[in-house]
Every structure is written in structure tokens, then in C-alpha cells.
Amino acid sequence: MTKLNVHENELAQRWGMSPKTLQRWRSEGRGPRYFKLSRKVIYPMAEIQKFEAQSLYASTSERANDIAAWRDSAPEAAKEDSAATQSPMNQRSGESNNGRVRGQVLCKT
């Protein structure tokens, strides 16, 4: 007998990901639809299977086209946030990276 609904941890295990990823997806409006019952999050199996079917691709170019379409339809605020994270000014010190590769550290003597 197949289950009609699965808990968040069961779905995370099924997909080999952290439950935190599912939590982040819910806050972003991604992933399968779910029920929130008190503190428990329940995913209907029909919604999981529907999401899995929508995530099935024949080639990487199909996925690239979907991502490009998603970005084009994203709200302007999300586009601005994305642009801000790619800025060379996006560092803790607030200084420019002076052409350095991200993550590279300069030592001062």
C-alpha cells in the first residue's frame, strides 16, 4: 500500500537532500505544494509525483531554457538581489575586490 502523504524528513530522504533545503524552498515558493498542520509539514504524494514529473528533462538545454524563462518572469526585486550578490562590492569590508578572484585573500604586512 502506498502512502498518500509524506512528512518533510521522508521527502528529504527520498530526494537525498537536507530538510533545510525543503524549508528554504517553501519560503521561496519552490518545490511541491504542501500542507501545514500545526507544526508538521505534510507533502501529498500526488504533488510530489507531479513536481518530479515537471523536473524531468531530456537534455541540459531544456533546463537552461526553463531557468532563463524563470529569470525573465522573476520580480524586479529578485533580479536586483541577484545583481547585488554578483557585485564586486559584495564583501564584508565593503571594499572593491581590485580584480582579485572571489575568495582570494591578500596578506598585509
| Higher per-residue confidence, 60 vs 75 | 60
- The one-letter amino acid code at 35 reads F
pLDDT one-digit tens code per residue, 18-47: 999 999 999 999 999 999 988 899 999 999
- Rounded-to-integer distance, Cα 5 and Cα 24, Å: 20
What share of the chain in percent tops pLDDT 90?
42
To the nearest whole number, what is the mean pLDDT of the chain?
75
Is the pLDDT at 90 greater than 90? The verdict is no
Nearest to 82 by CA among 69, 71, 96, 67: 71
The reported pTM is: 0.55
Cα-only R_g, the chain: 20
